[in-house]
């Protein structure tokens, strides 16, 4: 499993980082975890082919995590003339939120006749969903976004990659992260508690309970970025756009 960080930023462009998007390559297929508005820009910067992506796993329905689907569709239709099917998994209502966003930004775009199948699958709490070679299990977290928000546990072959989504600390992160080869954790602030987001202090306190082999901090605010040198734990890495990790 090879992870490439396309976007590790928050919703405010802190540190000049792109919005949330992780690209994962496994033998025979590529997939994305979240697709912020800047996803296609980041993928083009890194030379990643959007048409090779077979599945996009969405954590929650905030624009910095799903709005890139709008540009994904335009790129696939007008630029590459994609024919390969694309599966999108997300919370209940993802298909409608996508269509609403697409219509608001590019009127008529949700109704264009596509050359490829775009399939939406919805999560059921703590219930594994098999998509291609990947099994995703969603665990509801705490982050109001108009639909249930989730942490995602993705398993393929013998590897486990988990993602917190955006959330304040909740114990549902424990089954999501347990034994993971890598747990990608949103870490909006260092020690200033901001509503429905995580602090480094909370993650640090819970590292043993989380039980992940490695933890990658992401979605960092300006305040967190300013304190990044104070994070010192052998298990913990700090995300950066363009960074790659073998899992
Ligand atoms: Zn976010
Ligand atoms: Zn969010």
Give me the count of residues in the chain: 247
The Å distance, Cα 180 to ligand 2 centre, comes to 22
pLDDT value at residue 213: 98
- Which residues lie across from 129 on neighbouring strands? 136
Instruction: In whole angstroms, give the CA distance from residue 18 to residue 39.
Output: 8
Kindly report the backbone phi and psi dihedral angles of residue 56, in degrees, each rounded to the nearest multiple of 5, phi listed first. Answer: -120, 115
E strands present in the chain: 2-7, 21-26, 29-33, 53-57, 86-90, 118-122, 129-131, 134-140, 150-156, 159-163, 182-186, 215-218, 236-238, 244-246
Active site (annotated) includes residue 64: yes
Catalytic residue among 64, 166, 181, 241: 64
Number of neighbouring beta carbons within 10 Å of residue 58: 28
Ligand 1 centroid to residue 216 C-alpha, Å: 15
**Ligand positioned closest to the Cα atom of 142:** 2
Alpha carbon of 113 to ligand 1 centroid (Å): 31
Tokens matching residue 119: 């399939």
Q: Which ligand minimizes its atom distance to the CA of 21?
A: 1
Residue pLDDT, tens place only, 211-223: 999 999 999 999 9
| Regions of the chain where pLDDT drops below 70 | none
Of the ligands numbered here, which is closest to the C-alpha atom of 149? 2
- In sign, the C-alpha dihedral spanning 53, 81, 64, 18 is positive
Q: How far is the CA of 115 from the centre of ligand 1 (A)?
A: 31
Predicted TM-score (pTM) of this structure = 0.98
Give the distance, in angstroms, between the CA of residue 233 and the centroid of all CA atoms in the same chain: 24
Q: Give residue 91's pLDDT.
A: 98
Which listed ligand is nearest to 220 at the C-alpha?
1
**Cα of 83 from ligand 1 centre, angstroms:** 30
Q: Using an 8 Å Cβ cutoff, are 24 and 34 in contact?
A: no
Q: How far apart are the first and last CA of the chain?
A: 5
Spatial distance between the Cα atoms of 236 and 224, rounded to a whole number of angstroms:
14
Q: How far is the CA of 165 from the centre of ligand 1 (A)?
A: 8
List Cβ neighbours of 200 (8 Å cut-off, separation of 6 or more).
187, 189, 190, 191, 217, 224, 227, 230, 231
Q: Tell me what percent of the residues of the chain surpass a pLDDT of 70.
A: 100
Contacts 24+ apart (CB under 8 A), 95-99: 95/120, 97/61, 97/66, 97/146, 97/147, 98/66, 98/69, 98/70
């Amino acid at each position: 499993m090879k992870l490439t960080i396309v976007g590790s930023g928050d919703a405010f462009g802190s540190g000049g980082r792109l919005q949330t998007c992780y690209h994962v390559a496994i033998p025979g297929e590529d997939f994305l975890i979240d697709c912020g508005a800047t996803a296609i820009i980041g993928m083009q910067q890194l030379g990643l082919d959007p048409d090779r992506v077979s599945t996009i796993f969405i954590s929650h329905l905030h624009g910095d995590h799903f709005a890139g689907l709008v540009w994904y569709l335009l790129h696939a239709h007008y630029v590459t003339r994609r024919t390969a099917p694309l599966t999108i998994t997300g919370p209940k209502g993802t298909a409608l939120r996508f269509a609403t966003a697409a219509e608001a930004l590019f009127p008529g775009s949700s109704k264009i006749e596509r050359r490829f199948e775009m399939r939406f699958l919805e999560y059921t709490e703590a219930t594994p969903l098999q998509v291609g070679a990947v099994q995703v299990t969603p665990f509801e977290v705490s982050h109001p976004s108009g639909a249930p928000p989730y942490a995602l546990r993705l398993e393929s072959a013998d590897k486990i990659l988990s993602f917190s989504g955006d959330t304040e600390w909740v114990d549902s992160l424990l089954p999501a992260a347990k034994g993971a080869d890598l747990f990608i954790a949103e870490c909006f602030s260092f020690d200033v508690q901001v509503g429905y987001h995580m602090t480094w202090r909370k993650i640090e306190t819970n590292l043993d309970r989380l039980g992940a082999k490695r933890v990658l901090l992401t979605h960092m605010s300006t305040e967190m970025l300013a304190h990044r040198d104070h994070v010192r734990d052998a298990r913990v890495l700090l995300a950066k756009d363009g960074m790659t990790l073998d899992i």
